[in-house]
């Protein structure tokens, strides 16, 4: 459940586990991991994430995405040593959990904006649009937003159910009728909204 976490470390533990472990075992630890000074640990994190970005392709946007992830991890480590910040993020209160999750979710999504951009100029333009020219009225609600919500809502409900029970097998454990209704709905939505064309990675 990588989008339900509240820290960048937890995101990387939950996002792409095989890649995260590969980066840790073959880059971060050989560079020295966290065995040296704090500055050396930060350097190792940054190098690891930049190389992890470059692994996705030979483009500056991937390098920038890796740098963003590295700085995000470094910034969180530094902030977490400040007692008020640590108490807030680690707090058990609903407001603390909700706020830290919302912030983490949006910072993660901004990272995807960097990842999917075709150039540094596009990153700048999209960022400026988010900050100064955000116009949700331009969204094609009937043809884009409604189908997206119809497709994603059942999946989000299943995902939240799995998270609530902390069990990725929550659906297979449901009664047969409910379980096969979910399977049928998923197949139907995939056929209705699926993209079946090939795409270059």
* Rounded distance between C-alpha atoms, residue 31 and residue 194, angstroms: 42
Q: What are the residues whose beta carbons fall under 8 Å from the beta carbon of 141, sequence distance 6 or more?
A: none
Q: Which residues are catalytic?
A: 56
Q: How far is CA 24 from CA 28, 33, 45, 135, in A?
A: 5, 8, 9, 40
SS3 content of the chain, % helix, strand, coil (to 5): 75, 0, 25
Cβ 29 vs Cβ 40: under 8 Å: no
Tokens of 6: 């509240």
Contact indicator for 4, 101 with CB cutoff of 8 Å: yes
The DSSP code for 199 is: -
Residues 6+ apart with CB under 8 A from 127: 113
- What is the rounded CA–CA span in Å between residue 160 and residue 105? 15
d(CA 168, CA 161): 9
């Amino acid at each position: 459940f990588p989008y339900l976490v509240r820290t960048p470390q937890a995101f990387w533990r939950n996002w792409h586990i095989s890649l995260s472990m590969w980066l840790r075992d073959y880059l971060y630890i050989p560079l020295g991991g966290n065995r040296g000074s704090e500055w050396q640990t930060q350097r190792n994190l940054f190098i690891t994430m930049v190389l992890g970005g470059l692994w996705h392709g030979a483009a500056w946007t991937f390098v920038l995405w890796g740098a963003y992830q590295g700085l995000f991890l470094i910034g969180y480590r530094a902030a977490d040593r400040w007692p008020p910040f640590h108490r807030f993020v680690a707090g058990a209160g609903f407001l603390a959990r909700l706020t830290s999750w919302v912030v983490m979710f949006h910072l993660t999504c901004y990272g995807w904006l960097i990842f999917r951009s075709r150039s540094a100029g596009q990153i700048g333009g999209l960022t400026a649009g988010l900050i100064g020219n955000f116009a949700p009225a331009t969204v094609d609600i009937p043809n884009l937003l409604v189908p997206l919500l119809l497709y994603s809502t059942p999946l989000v409900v299943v995902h939240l159910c799995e998270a609530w029970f902390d069990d990725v097998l929550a659906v297979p454990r449901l009664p047969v009728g409910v379980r096969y209704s979910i399977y049928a709905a998923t197949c139907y939505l995939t056929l209705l909204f699926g993209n079946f064309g090939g795409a270059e990675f």
